[in-house]
Structure 1
Amino acid sequence: MAELQALLFDVDGTLADTERDGHRVAFNMAFDEAGLDWDWDEALYGDLLAVTGGKERIRYYLDKFNTEFEKPENFDDFVKGLHAAKTKFYTQLLSEGKIPLRTGVERLIQEARDAGMRMAVVTTTTPANVTALLTNTLGDDSESWFEVIAAGDIVPAKKPAPDIYHWALEQMSLTPEEAIAFEDSSNGILSSSAANVRTIVTINEYTKDDDFSAAHLVLDHMGEPEEAFTVLSGNAQGHNHLNLDLVKAVANA
């Protein structure tokens, strides 16, 4: 059996609850700045999360939920501009400390780092969003802790396609058996499992009803020694929080 070499982290919803209190809010701020009367409330945004990628989400909204909007001739530039403004507001929210890491995330990352475990980010969000989240939560040099930042449009097909995982593994010269993924959504687990990467899921309010039958362990959060996780599926082997020993046990199960 291959020895575990690397931890591959999704970002939105996995490292932080960025969707409801970060990206959604930032989208609305961008719409307001552009003079649009669009408002993505929590319920609508949950529906929009069926599509990964911010620019793709705007298009999906107009195709399915706001079909009467008259698209401008320079529609691609219009979408890119809205998305760029959203990213600006998102990084602003991060700099104001309004989007903290989820329970147990910083502890696990530090433990993996201390153990010399290789790490990567594997996400559909933009590189700028990754940088903003890491630097505002883990420190200015934290992006360098991750050997590969697989983000944004680096591959044409986003999650649930496995392409982003294939790309990250190739960059790290790893086989799927030598890595483990951390995801939070159905699109995430579809992507990682299609790449044959074992996956640990931590759900959130938007994804709690998703199908995680392909995951090897499903938790409500990563937990802390004094704040135990709840096991929703799989075997935590007597652990009450997700540490490197449990991660290795799941990888080798």
Structure 2
Amino acid sequence: MLLDCDGVLSDTELDGHLAAFNLAFAELGYGFRWSREVYAELLRVGGGKERLRRYFADHPEIAFAGGADLDAAVLALHRRKSEIYVEIAESGRLPGRPGVKRLVEEALDAGWTVAVASTSAPESVEAVLRTVVGSETRARMAGVFAGDAVEAKKPAPDIYLLALSELGLEPAQTVVIEDSDVGAAAAAAAGLAHLVTVSSFTTEEVFPEASAVVTDLGEPGAPARLLRGGIELEDGLVTLSGLAALRGSRA
């Protein structure tokens, strides 16, 4: 089981990444901030540094702080943004999404290989994992594949192909949990069955190749809802048996 981080482990984009970007802009002397609407458009680009480059390309009038060139400005902004984001995550302000800790622990207990494949910086993913599943459960997971581990970010399939190669998994053995069109497209391009749990920025997205789409993974007393597709929920919960039925469905 391979999980995306942002929007899957925790609904991080609005109160985590966007907040951290805007704090970094202010600290480093930039006279703009990203609105929710601007950031929603930028989320179509995989990777934080890549979003910065896209924004600066669309706004050539912006002068880089301290007379830096584009590369230096992007690296400085992203470095500070990542530091702020880790602080936010470790403060406990980004709680886990329903069912994530439950399902990860059930999968590990059943002997499944569980890892994260994300466009976010590795330190950002690790901070979320420590908060959402705890250090002991994180230590049992097979790894984190993230950030610049690959050159081409989602929607390219590279991060999923890297995870499959490093973990020795075949596509038919694997199911992905994603939350966005960009991530779902990456999973599809890697030939992987994928379940989508919609998040705050992705409720209107389409996910044309998703095996199923749900509101979340579900908790006892707080059931998930099936929005589309073919996964059987047990008392409103996404379970290992449901995910197992999806594995290999793209073969």
Give 1:198's aligned residue.
193
> Do residues 10 (structure 1) and 22 (structure 2) align?
no
Aligned counterpart in structure 1 of residue 102 of structure 2, from 107, 120, 128: 107
The one of 219, 244, 247 equivalent to 1:248 is 244
Q: Which residue of 2 aligns with 1:125?
A: 120
Q: Any conservation in 2 of the 1:180–1:198 contact (CA below 8 Å)?
A: yes
| Aligned residues with identical type, % of pairs | 38
CA distance in 1, matches of 2:233, 2:204: 25
Q: How does 1:1-40 map to 2 (within 5 A)?
A: 7-40=1-34
Alignment of 1:53-68 (within 5 A): 53-64=47-58, 66-68=59-61
Contact 1:181–1:192 (8 Å) recurs in 2: yes
1:152 to 142, 147, 156: 147
Q: Provide the aligned length of Structure 1 versus Structure 2.
A: 246
8 Å contact 1:148–1:171 — kept in the other structure? no
Q: Say yes or no: does 1:70 pair with 2:70.
A: no
* Counterpart pick for 1:188 among 183, 204, 216: 183
Give the CA deviation at 1:238.
Answer: 4.9
The amino acid that maps onto 1:34 is: L
Secondary structure in 2 aligned to 1:141? Answer: helix
Distance 1:111 1:168 in 2: 21
Partner of 1:162: 157
Cα distance between partner residues in 1 of 2:40 and 2:61: 21
Whether the 8 Å CA contact 1:222–1:242 is kept in 2: the answer is yes
Deviation at 1:136, TM superposition (A): 2.4
Letter aligned with residue 103 of structure 1:
P
Deviation at 1:185, TM superposition (A): 0.6
Q: Give distance in 1, aligned partners of 2:138 and 2:15.
A: 22
Q: Is the 8 A contact 1:221 1:230 kept in 2?
A: yes
Which amino acid is the alignment partner of residue 237 of structure 2? H
Partner of 1:3: none
SS at match of 1:118: coil
Distance in 2 (alpha carbons) for counterparts of 1:61 and 1:98: 27
Cα distance in 2, alignment partners of residues 15 and 225 from structure 1 = 18
C-alpha distance in structure 2 between counterparts of 1:159 and 1:77, whole Å? 23
Separation in 2, partners of 1:166, 1:252: 15
Name the residue aligned to 1:87. 82
Unaligned 5+ segments in structure 2 are: none
RMSD: 1.4
What is the TM-score when the length of structure 2 is the normalising length? 0.93
1:98 aligns with 2:93: yes
* Structure 1 alignment gaps of length 5 or more: 1-6
Task: Give the 3 Å change call, closer, same or farther, for CA 246–107 of structure 1 in structure 2.
Answer: same
Q: Could you tell me how far 1:252 is from its partner in structure 2?
A: 5.6
Shift of 1:210: 1.6
